[in-house]
């Protein structure tokens, strides 16, 4: 924030103008004006501030003439390797039995290809295993023991099924059976290469202390990730149950296909889901999106969802606008 030109942000303000509408930003945090939600490819966008080093790795790969898939995989591996990240990779929070079960998905715009793994234990890089499912099998998704057997067969790097720190926290949880309120996150990373093609991937340890075998939205094509080379891509983070029931990222991409700016597509998806869901805005879901024209955006049900944007000209964390209950529109049908 400190070295950012003042005009880039509406700081301390309660409102921001998004897509021509006045959007409340209750946290009063910086929101990038709509006109600046654009960059010249290669462009990489990922969820949360912890995505920024992943973006930068992906850019490095692209600038060294690596492929879009290489960039997605290398970028996400950075977050998966972060021993301090409790929601991605083997340092993540385990399931109710004390075992970390990882979900990941990768998609290539060219060829409209996808690969994913779910409930994978004991392997450091689920994103790489997901890519191998896409490239080395006729399938899209492998889960649990089958995914682990496949990963072992292809020699992927193994690791402990839970870190010592998370094991200690799990034991405490087991005694108290008390859930932390927010104990999950995902790295979803979507990008456009200099030649215009779109790729994406996501990876997570999912909902902390989940039931063994639970899959979230992340390995589900159109749930936690969707890439359409004609239109753009979207990624999700938040409570997967509230994303996968609505094909959240597919919806974001379809709104972009209808002409919405990525930011408006994320906002409209949030409104649509919040209108339909009995929980309204209490859903804890967030989206990021890019389109083929180099535009990007994000939105969440809460205030203050942050995402990372990287291109040759800059690499920064951006705050998405909040959506208020007043902005939800009437129940039943399109608000417009």
Would you please indicate which residues are annotated as catalytic (active-site) residues? 186
Question: In this complex, which beta carbon is closest to ligand ASP, that of residue 121 or of residue 218?
Answer: 218
**Minimum CB–partner distance for residue 196 and ligand ASP (Å):** 28
Minimum CB–partner distance for residue 54 and ligand ASP (Å): 14
User: Residue from 55, 116, 186, 263 that binds ligand ASP (CB under 6 A)?
Assistant: 186
Give the residue with the Cβ less far from ligand ASP, 104 or 290.
104
Per-state percent for the chain, helix, strand, coil, to nearest 5: 30, 25, 45
Identify the residue among 126, 216, 302, 322 touching ligand ASP (CB under 6 A). 216
Between CA 93 and CA 127, with CA 252 as vertex, the angle to 5 degrees is 40
**Length of the chain measured in residues:** 336
User: CA–CA separation, 211 vs 34, rounded Å?
Assistant: 41
Pick from 185, 197, 254, 264 the residue near ligand ASP by CB under 6 A: 185
Binding mask 222-261 for ligand ASP (x = CB under 6 A): --x------------xxxx---------------------
203 binds ligand ASP (CB under 6 A): no
Q: Sheet harboring 232-238: ordered strands across? A: 225-228, 232-238, 285-291, 296-300
Report how far residue 286's alpha carbon sits from residue 281's, in angstroms, rounded to the nearest whole number: 11
Strand locations in the chain (E): 15-18, 21-24, 43-47, 102-108, 113-120, 141-143, 187-192, 198-204, 225-228, 232-238, 285-291, 296-300, 306-311, 314-319
Q: Least separation, in Å, of the C-beta of 6 and ligand ASP?
A: 32
CB 303 within 8 A of CB 320: no
- Say whether residue 183 binds ligand ASP (CB under 6 A): no
The distance of closest approach from Cβ of residue 285 to ligand ASP in the complex, given in angstroms and rounded to an integer, is 8
The CA–CA distances, whole Å, from 132 to 34, 109, 116, 144 equal 38, 16, 9, 15
Binding of residue 204 to ligand ASP (CB under 6 A): yes
> Is residue 287 close enough to count as binding ligand ASP by CB under 6 A?
no
Identify which range of 57-65, 169-177, 201-209, 298-306 contacts ligand ASP by CB under 6 A: 201-209
Confirm or reject binding of residue 184 to ligand ASP (CB under 6 A). yes
Which residues in this chain contact ligand ASP in the complex, by CB under 6 A? 184-186, 204, 206-207, 216-218, 224, 237-240
């Amino acid at each position: 924030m400190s070295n950012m030109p003042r005009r880039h942000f509406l700081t301390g303000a309660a409102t921001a103008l998004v897509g021509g509408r006045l959007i409340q930003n209750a946290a009063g945090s910086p929101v990038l004006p709509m006109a600046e939600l654009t960059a010249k490819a290669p462009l990489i966008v990922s969820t949360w501030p912890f995505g920024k080093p992943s973006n930068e790795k992906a850019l490095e790969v692209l600038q060294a003439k690596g492929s879009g898939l290489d960039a997605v995989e290398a970028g996400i591996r950075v977050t998966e390797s972060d021993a301090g990240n409790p929601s991605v990779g083997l340092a993540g929070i385990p399931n109710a039995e004390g075992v970390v079960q990882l979900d990941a998905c990768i998609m290539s715009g060219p060829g409209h290809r996808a690969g994913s793994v779910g409930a994978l234990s004991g392997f450091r890089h689920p994103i790489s295993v997901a890519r191998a499912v896409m490239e080395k099998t006729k399938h899209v998704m492998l889960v649990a023991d089958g995914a682990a057997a496949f990963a072992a067969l292809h020699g992927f790097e193994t690791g402990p099924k839970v870190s010592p720190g998370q094991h200690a926290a799990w034991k405490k949880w087991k005694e108290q059976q008390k859930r932390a309120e927010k104990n999950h996150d995902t790295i979803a990373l979507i990008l456009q290469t200099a030649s215009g093609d779109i790729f994406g991937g996501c990876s997570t340890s999912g909902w902390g202390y989940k039931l063994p075998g639970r899959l979230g939205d992340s390995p589900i094509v159109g749930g936690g990730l969707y890439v359409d080379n004609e239109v753009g891509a979207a990624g999700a983070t938040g409570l997967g149950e509230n994303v996968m029931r609505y094909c959240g990222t597919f919806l974001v991409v379809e709104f972009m296909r209808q002409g919405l700016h990525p930011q408006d597509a994320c906002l409209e998806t949030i409104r649509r889901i919040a209108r339909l869901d009995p929980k309204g805005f209490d859903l804890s879901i967030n989206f990021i999106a890019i389109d083929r024209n180099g535009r990007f955006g994000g939105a969440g049900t809460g205030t203050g969802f942050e995402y990372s944007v990287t291109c040759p000209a800059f690499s920064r964390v951006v705050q998405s606008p909040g959506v208020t209950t007043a902005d939800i529109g009437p129940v039943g049908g399109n608000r417009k």
